[in-house]
Amino acid sequence: MSEAVFEASLERIRRHCLFSGQKSITLLFHGGEPSLVGVKRFDAWCTKARQSLEEVVEVRFMLQTNGTLLNRAWARVLLKHQVRVGISMDGPEELHNAYRVDHKGQGSYENVVQGLNVLREEHVAFGVLSVIQLGADPLAIHHHFLSLGCKSISYILPDFTHDTIGPIRERYGPTPCADFLIPIFDDWWFNGTLDVRIRDFWNIARLIMGGDSLTDSLGNNPFHFIFVETDGRIEGLDVLRVCSEGMTSTTLNV
């Protein structure tokens, strides 16, 4: 994303907040891999966002990253701007490295764990986002995250549609995601602690008790976010791209 697109995004956000009267906004950097912008540029962007918006709205920051580039310099900047961090991780080393490799085909697990350890040591708030690994041992994955000191975990539904789920159910059964999540819930509820927050279960509980879901995959509330692409295009929920090309397009640009 160029400086021009980023500044135009901030101006659009400022104008929207003045119009809507909302009191806070969260800027979530994700990708791709947002840490590729470099720690100095990220620091400058967070500073610029606060300077541009703080008179209008409270600004909060989040970073969703694969964790491979995180180091002490990143930790200092994340603390400086109170950025909440999400680490994308699939599970133990063998499982994680099956899909998450670098351009040389080498697994990224060791680099991710190193980055995660830096965040924990520097007291940067972080959580793990993990796509449900169908057919894998759910408790082995969950206990691995706990062993790394993770206190916030989200298990993400894999991107299948009504038209593509058939072969998955033939291979893994009619309820593959439930079969993965239920053992984790039972272990968390009967053997774990509420100090560990599993976002999926918290959101289901909120809905059952009459509250609102805080994630786009559960509940029917209107979305309270948009996506700004690197060229300035404004899009809706990006995961809908699995349904058809262009489904997320709004035809708008910052």
pLDDT reading at 240 higher than 80: no
pLDDT of residue 15: 94
Q: Are 250 and 235 in contact (CB under 8 A)?
A: yes
Domain range list for the chain? 1-131
CATH 3.20.20.70 fits 1-131, yes or no: yes
pLDDT in tens, 163-190: 889 999 999 999 999 999 999 999 999 9
pLDDT reading at 193 higher than 90: no
40 against 161, higher pLDDT: 40
pLDDT reading at 248 higher than 90: no
pLDDT in tens, 101-144: 888 888 999 999 999 999 999 999 999 999 999 989 999 999 99
pLDDT in tens, 6-19: 999 999 999 999 99
- CA quadruple 114, 116, 117, 118: dihedral sign: positive
Q: How far apart are CA 218 and CA 199, in angstroms?
A: 11
Q: Are 45 and 6 in contact (CB under 8 A)?
A: yes
158-190: b (≥16 Cβ within 10 Å) or e: eebeeeeeeebeeeeeeebbeebbeebbeebee
What is 156-171 written as a DSSP string? EPP---TTTSHHHHHH
Please name the residues in contact with 222: beta carbons below 8 A apart, sequence gap of 6 or more. Answer: none
pLDDT of residue 8: 95
Instruction: Give pTM, 2 decimals.
Output: 0.88
Residue 74 amino acid letter? W
